[in-house]
Structure 1
Amino acid sequence: MSENYNIPFWIYLAVVSLFVGGAMKKILAPHLSVGPTLVAWLGATVLVERLWGFCLPAIPLLVLLAAMGCIYSRSRTAQLPNLPAQGKAVFITGCDSGFGNAAAKRLDSLGFEVFATVLNLEGDGARELQRSCSSRLTLLQVDITQPQQVQQALLDTKAKLGLRGLWGLVNNAGVCLNLGDAELTLMSNFRCCMEVNFFGTVSVTKSFLPLVRQAKGRIVNISSPAGEQPFPCLAAYGSSKAALNLFTETLRHELNHWGVRVITILPSSYRTAASSNHAHWDQQNKELLQGLSPELLEDYGEDYVTETKNLFQSFSERASTDFSPVIDTIVQALSSPQPQARYHAGLSLMYFIHSYLPLSLRDRLQKKRFLKKTVMPRALRKKSGLDANGCHSNINTCEEKQNLQ
């Protein structure tokens, strides 16, 4: 009987270790160091294994553990009231629209002194901030890729702060251009994403860091899951965000002894002004097609490139327009006495898929969930005798497949 018990037992223990360990990491890692977290992980696993010996059902037991974890996490938050906003200054980049614009309004309404940068002081976003915010908000025209503009913004901020430091620096400005396969992505797009999303953020951070250190404040970097997960057709954007993530984590370790908290926020998919603009997508696609070499365009085909554009456009149109999960997280990162090092703002099924599932299953689900390509590259179609939809051109059985699409 013992031989029949051993195999299921170890399978069971491995599965329980995976899920309970992942839950403990999710719940406790922001609050504990590596040693106590590992002890909690192993202790919870052994506890579940022992309780299983008393014939407690596994599913109710896991639900109970999850409920206890949520209660614990909420109790910690409830014991520590948020820090007051009065007298605290926050500098936010990229406030023309999207997260930056919404965050500037919320932080101003809470009583923070907000320095909001925009690319265009005469634009709709800047005018909306002037109209809806208090006199505490200061608008600054800054292109974060231009060092002289960053330095001028620093001087203007210092002039208003006087002898005070800067409580919060929110690096929000970012760009995503010409979505497509890595081979099709123009080098200018790789450079542009790196200049804005990485080098621009590094430039602003290094410039304003002395003010943040003076206040023992916070640096909040708005990144993306694309910097951690290999989303198809986001090589340029994802690479820049991956560089930003590593920079942020390194900075977090280096500034710990200064009393400065460094936080990464990874929003899920949201629809911003540019992503809901059909003309924007058409212009991006046109520029990409014009920039491709004749050889690449022949190998992939214009229909392949255009389908990618259509898929991303459709994906963005289904994305949420409610920025409140991201804005709430920014406020929490700036106001919590014990902010987490990383926040995932909004529901993200892809985060669970990437973190917990095997690679083969992860790849399959990612293709079905994120980018459902139906058009194959032209060269592969010719080689295999397939039409644009991946079907054999001389067989009529493709009608059913095309009807299902």
Structure 2
Amino acid sequence: MMARSRFAVALLVAVVVGAATSCSASDTQPSEATSTAAPATSAGPAVLTPVVADVVAAPIPVTGSDGLVHLAYELRLTNTGSQPATIASFQVTGDGRTLVDLSGDALTPWFQALGGGPKTGPVLAPGQEGLVWIDATVSSPHDVPGSLGHVLTVDFPQATSLVPARLTENVANTKVDNREAVRIRSPLDGPRWLDGTGCCTVSAHRAAVLPINGEMLAAERFAIDFVQLDEQGRIYVGDKTQLSSYRYYGAPVRAVADGTVIAVVGDLPEAVPGANPEGLTLPEYGGNHVVQDIGNGRFAFYAHLQPGSVDDISVGQDLRAGDQVGLLGNSGNTDAPHLHFHVMDGPDFLAANGVPFEFDSFQLDARVAGDSVDSAATAGAPVVDEPGTQTGERTGAMPLNLDVVTFPGG
């Protein structure tokens, strides 16, 4: 897993929530060491499966800058039993193929138990819920399966007469959402824009699966924090607490598509760079922002804009692709100037699920090492490019985490 970027705080970090109800096995008589639970749709005998699962939202395929088609989504697990449940391995299957196969240390970065306490690997306490973040990939749109299955191998401390010590469960069969990712222009112009916390690793954005209005939602599933590197690969030069040290501060932010403005906030103050703001209310996390209805149940969100830069934007105003929405700023939940951008399936920037988007065109210039982004954010050092990245022109694709791209214009 890539190191988490420190220069730009996600809108919200993952919230730790409570657990599901617990149900106890009746005794501790030993049974066979391993048992396999058949899928719920098969015509086999009923098997007790203490860990149950559901998908937060069905995945929508999107083409990434790596040329692969990504299915990024989250699986919610609940341990309904009275014993701790260790997820020993996890597979995603589709059309007879195994798309994801994780176990041991490889699984740990993609798993988070909810409800607080120390992180002890992929373990669910009795009655606890957890999340598995999934990035399944295929080589082309023609290879996207119609549905996905999930296979968990779960270990328990003791076998009982109802549940063995190791159980393989088939859970949460789900159809792939066959909608296409929305095609848009870029919200920024010009060279060296770094995708600081984008898809599809478990960045601060993807980790922000939040309990909003009584349900778990992932509005920031595909969100990107954009900062612009200078010619030497630096985010800022000089005093990191001064907005003037960030040369891209004030860059024009563009409408990504034709559509109507449905929400505007423009009077929140800038935060001081280099520190996380405190005391924000939930509506203030996006800072000064614009929400635009871009059609077909999709809404574009432009966040952390400069105060006063959206004074000419009003609710009900129709924007054309390329129109200026505002200026890149540092308002709301942010520790350095950046543009937070995402597309969602509802008008509220938190009470929605994030949906994928593909930019018309961009140049992939590099992909940078995550630890170098940390030093760039804290000490003003240049970023370091990862070797072996296949750079070049991209059309109809989404930048991935730690990509450096050049957008048309500017």
Higher relative contact order (CA 8 A, sep 6+): 2
TM-score scaled by length of structure 2 = 0.25
TM-score scaled by length of structure 1 = 0.26
- The structure carrying a bigger strand percent of its residues is 2
- The structure carrying a bigger helix percent of its residues is 1
